[in-house]
């Protein structure tokens, strides 16, 4: 349980394959298609077009992968509003990132089982933070939470704490009281010295972990996979070079490192047989000082690859996780905050969920 992720309720009940996740969401939509139609949300609308177009075409594995990753990213945009907003409230209450992360998981679990259009997302966010605070042993008074949330979203919440209390019942009930959450931060803290991470690299890993809560990854992969992916990305990505060809180059390096790890483990599908020499990130240019840094970083990537190869870590999962994170950063730039916000606010207002 708490010590072992493998025996935890998180692994037993709250980890899904992409297909399972898609099915659950589809089921929610099918329960009340009218509702879904009446209040389109950007991602789901596109999602449906996307699915309808391809309904009868047998997926090639490649296409399937493509489809599922697009779906994941599109879905992520709905949650995005919640995530942006939860960070605002969290900051206001001086709540620590780890508690926000727990609340984010609660929100994700909840919306796996409840159609978002039936809820007031602002109330759900507030409740998730309130509950996560208690669970992470940093409780905040219900009145304080309600007051701060109301001042952030005056049009969508009342000061009535009993609303929050009621939503807490709803939230806990949908989660089957399974509230203990394993997070990648702990793995990062444990491993950072093993990999000689610099403060910059730790910070970058930390923010990549923060970002992964915007995606479906927390419902797809165990926290240690996410942490290892974040570390790998922090080693191959320079801060401020997340976009463009340089990044693509570096992603290739990350992929190569993982491929190498697979080979190192002995024949687990090492089809491209990446030799270690090819994986140097960022190739040309720079003085001797820069070369030295690159060498050091290269050494770390090597160490990392060796570690992954020796361990029992699911490399396939890491490869996918890496791709999801990278696609997320690419898609994130296209995210239209205002449009999404308007659409969420529209159904909350129109259905009177702010008063329910």
Q: Interface residues with other proteins (CB under 8 A)? A: 1-4, 7-9, 96, 98-99, 130-131, 134-139, 142, 161-170, 172-173, 176-180, 186, 189, 356
Tell me how far, at minimum, the Cβ of 298 lies from other proteins, in Å.
32
Tell me how far, at minimum, the Cβ of 164 lies from other proteins, in Å.
7
**Residue 349 to residues 140, 337, 346: CA-CA distances in angstroms?**
28, 18, 5
Instruction: Give me Rg for the CA atoms of the chain.
Output: 21
C-alpha 40/C-alpha 43 separation (Å) is 9
Q: Which is nearer to other proteins, 136 or 324 (CB)?
A: 136
For 327, the token pair is 């696609």
Cβ-Cβ contacts under 8 Å for 78 (sequence gap 6 or more): 41, 42, 43, 44, 111, 116, 340
Q: Which is nearer to other proteins, 273 or 352 (CB)?
A: 352
Tell me how far, at minimum, the Cβ of 95 lies from other proteins, in Å.
10
Q: Which is nearer to other proteins, 68 or 127 (CB)?
A: 127
Tell me how far, at minimum, the Cβ of 200 lies from other proteins, in Å.
23
Q: Which is nearer to other proteins, 131 or 257 (CB)?
A: 131
Q: Which is nearer to other proteins, 181 or 225 (CB)?
A: 181
Contact 7, 178 (CB under 8 A): no
C-alpha 67/C-alpha 45 separation (Å) is 15
Backbone angles phi, psi at 164, to 5 degrees: -60, -45
257 in helix, strand or coil? Answer: helix
Tell me how far, at minimum, the Cβ of 183 lies from other proteins, in Å.
11
Q: Which is nearer to other proteins, 165 or 269 (CB)?
A: 165
Tell me how far, at minimum, the Cβ of 272 lies from other proteins, in Å.
40
Count of alpha carbons within 13 angstroms of residue 154, beta-carbon side: 1
C-alpha 99/C-alpha 68 separation (Å) is 29
Contact 353, 167 (CB under 8 A): no
Tell me how far, at minimum, the Cβ of 109 lies from other proteins, in Å.
13
Q: Which is nearer to other proteins, 12 or 290 (CB)?
A: 12
Cβ-Cβ contacts under 8 Å for 312 (sequence gap 6 or more): none
Q: Which is nearer to other proteins, 22 or 179 (CB)?
A: 179
C-alpha 330/C-alpha 347 separation (Å) is 28
C-alpha 35/C-alpha 38 separation (Å) is 5
Tell me how far, at minimum, the Cβ of 155 lies from other proteins, in Å.
19
């Amino acid at each position: 349980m708490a010590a072992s992720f493998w025996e935890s309720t998180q692994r037993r009940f709250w980890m899904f394959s992409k297909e399972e996740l898609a099915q659950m969401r589809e089921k929610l939509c099918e329960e009340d298609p009218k509702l879904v139609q009446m209040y389109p949300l950007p991602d789901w609308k596109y999602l449906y077009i996307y699915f309808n177009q391809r309904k009868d075409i047998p997926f090639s594995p490649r296409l399937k992968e493509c489809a599922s990753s697009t779906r994941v990213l599109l879905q992520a945009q709905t949650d995005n509003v919640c995530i942006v907003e939860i960070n605002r409230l969290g900051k206001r209450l001086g709540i620590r990132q780890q508690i926000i992360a727990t609340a984010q998981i609660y929100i994700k679990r909840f919306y796996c089982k409840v159609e978002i259009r039936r809820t007031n997302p602002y109330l759900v966010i507030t409740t998730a933070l309130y509950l996560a605070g208690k669970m992470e042993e940093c409780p905040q008074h219900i009145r304080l939470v309600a007051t701060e949330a109301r001042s952030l979203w005056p049009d969508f919440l009342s000061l009535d704490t009993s609303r929050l209390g009621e939503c807490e019942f709803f939230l806990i009930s949908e989660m089957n009281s399974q509230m203990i959450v394993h997070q990648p931060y702990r793995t990062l803290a444990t491993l950072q010295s093993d990999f000689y991470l610099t403060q910059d690299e730790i910070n970058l890993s930390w923010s990549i972990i923060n970002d992964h809560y915007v995606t479906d990854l927390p419902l797809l992969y165990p926290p240690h996979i996410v942490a290892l992916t974040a570390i790998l990305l922090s080693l191959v990505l320079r801060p401020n070079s997340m976009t463009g060809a340089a990044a693509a180059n570096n992603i290739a390096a990350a992929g190569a490192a993982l491929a190498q790890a697979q080979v190192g483990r002995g024949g687990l599908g090492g089809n491209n047989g990446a030799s270690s020499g090819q994986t140097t990130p960022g190739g040309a240019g720079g003085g001797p000082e820069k070369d030295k840094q690159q060498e050091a970083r290269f050494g770390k990537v090597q160490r990392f690859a060796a570690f992954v190869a020796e361990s029992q870590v699911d490399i396939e999962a890491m490869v996918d996780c890496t791709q999801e994170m990278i696609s997320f950063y690419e898609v994130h730039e296209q995210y239209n905050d205002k449009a999404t916000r308007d659409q969420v606010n529209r159904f909350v207002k129109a259905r009177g969920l702010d008063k329910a």
